[in-house]
Structure 1
Amino acid sequence: MAKLTKAQREWKPNTPKKLRSTKMMFASVVLMLEAFVAMFLGLALFGVNGKNPIYLIAAGVLAVLLILACAVVRKTWGIAVGWILQLVLIACGFWEYSMFIVGVLFSIAWWYALTGGAKIDRENVNRAKVQAKWDAEHPEEHPESSTK
């Protein structure tokens, strides 16, 4: 038998499901995609610029920083770290000019992940409140709460 997680052990019937932040999921996806782009940038610069391993190391460090930023994006200062990493990605354009465009496009995606995700989170919280109010006013309409 598989070992249960803490959430599985603590679950009880009619326990409301905790809402997951769409903003954080969107932001993490953007950061992960940027980590792949950073690695591909390092590989391209490595191949084009005479097999200099500095490009691979720098790209690897940037990719690791982008991945680690996914872990702290939930904190208020984590968003600032994400913005700093957006600037670093844009600054990579000094080594490969196309990164100016790619970096700006990813910065727009980062901005949208934060603003659009926050809007969806607010809508989900509001929807959950309305649903909880309706459930409280109509207990007879829930088949799982009726006894047989």
Structure 2
Amino acid sequence: MRSIIFYGRTGKFTFRMLATVLGGQSICILLGALVARAVAATDQANGAGTAYLVVGFGLGALCIVAAGLMRRPWGVTLGWVVQALTLLSALVVPMMLVVGLFFLALWVTCLVKGAPIDAEMARREAAAGPPDPADRVDG
């Protein structure tokens, strides 16, 4: 599994797929934050509902920021941090473990399959040669 990286740049296809995974993950995390708040609100002795909501929304925002930073070398590292924090959110809402494992599997799959696809795309672009300036449409 040498294509699983924790730091560094990825190809165009790979970083787009990783950003897509984080975008979908942010929606699930935001919904999980609402569930955590609602569960905490039903427990009258526990006043942590607002804290769960704020932390969950922060994690959802971190997903979106990480998706936007996938082109940077440390964007992948931030994505791994998001994956770990998503799994940790299962301490508050146990079903987030299923969500975390699902998105972790997608994350690893994109890292593993993305590198060969990027290599194939680069090979095809090199075989096609430089673009013909006459084919360019201005306007």
TM-score, normalised by the number of residues in structure 2: 0.77
Which residue of structure 2 lines up, in the alignment, with residue 27 of structure 1? Answer: 18
The question of 1:63 aligning with 2:60 is answered yes
* Secondary structure at 1:42 match in 2: helix
CA-CA distance at 1:115 after TM superposition: 2.0
- In 2, Cα distance between equivalents of 1:78 and 1:21: 13
Which residue of structure 2 lines up, in the alignment, with residue 111 of structure 1? Answer: 108
Aligned residues: 119
Which residue of structure 2 lines up, in the alignment, with residue 43 of structure 1? Answer: 34
Of 105, 126, 131, which aligns to 2:128?
Answer: 131
The question of 1:78 aligning with 2:75 is answered yes
Query: Is contact 1:23–1:115 with CA below 8 Å preserved after alignment?
Result: no
Which residue of structure 2 lines up, in the alignment, with residue 99 of structure 1? Answer: 96
Q: CA RMSD in A?
A: 2.2
Sequence identity (%): 24
Computing the radius of gyration from Cα coordinates, the structure with the larger value is 1
Structure with larger RCO (C-alpha < 8 A, sep 6+): 2
| CA deviation map 1:95-138 (0-9, x unaligned) | 111111210111110111222222211110001111118x8xxx
Q: Name the structure where helix makes up a greater proportion of residues.
A: 1
- In 1, Cα distance between equivalents of 2:102 and 2:116: 21
